Amino acid sequence: MTATAFCDIDQVLALTEAMHAAAVEGRWDDLTGLAAEREPVLYAGAMRPAPETLESLKSIMLMDNLIKDLVSAARDETALALDNGRRVRRAVAAYTSF
C-alpha cells in the first residue's frame, strides 16, 4: 500500500504571498518565476483534508484574484502608454514632413 502524497499547501501559500508582493511592486519577472515555481508544488499531491487547508486555499484564491487585478491594470497602463507613444511618433512624423 502506498502513502498518499499531499501538496505542501504552506509552501503554495508562501509562494502566492511572494507573487502578490511582486505584483504590488511591479516586479513582473519575479512574479512569472514564482508562478512557475508554485505550479509543480500545487499539483504535487492531494489536498490534505483539514480545515486549515480550506482556509489556505481561500487565501490563495483571494490573492490570485488580487494578482490578476494588478496584472490587468498594468497591462492596460502599458497599452495606454504604447498607444500614446504611437500618437507622439505620428505627430512628430507629421510635423517633420512639412
Q: What is the CATH number of the domain that holds 42?
A: 1.20.58
Question: What are the backbone angles phi and psi of residue 4, rounded to the nearest 5°?
Answer: -75, 130
Name beta bridge partners: 6: 46
Whole-number Å distance between alpha carbons of 45 and 13: 15
The tens digit of pLDDT for each residue in 24-40 reads 999 999 999 999 999 99
Tell whether 53 is covered by a domain.
yes
Tell whether 71 is covered by a domain.
yes
Write out the residue range of the structural domain in which residue 68 sits: 9-96
Counted domains in the chain: 1
User: How is residue 2 annotated by DSSP?
Assistant: P
Q: Under a CB-based contact definition with an 8 Å cutoff, are residues 16 and 61 in contact?
A: no
pLDDT at 1: 59
Tell whether 55 is covered by a domain.
yes
- Residue 43 CB: number of other CB atoms within 10 A? 9
Q: Which residue has the cell 502506498?
A: 2
Tell whether 4 is covered by a domain.
no
pLDDT at 89: 78
The model's pTM is 0.82
pLDDT at 38: 98
How many Å from the N-terminal Cα to the C-terminal Cα in the chain? 83
Tell whether 1 is covered by a domain.
no
Residues of the chain with pLDDT under 50: none
Tell whether 43 is covered by a domain.
yes
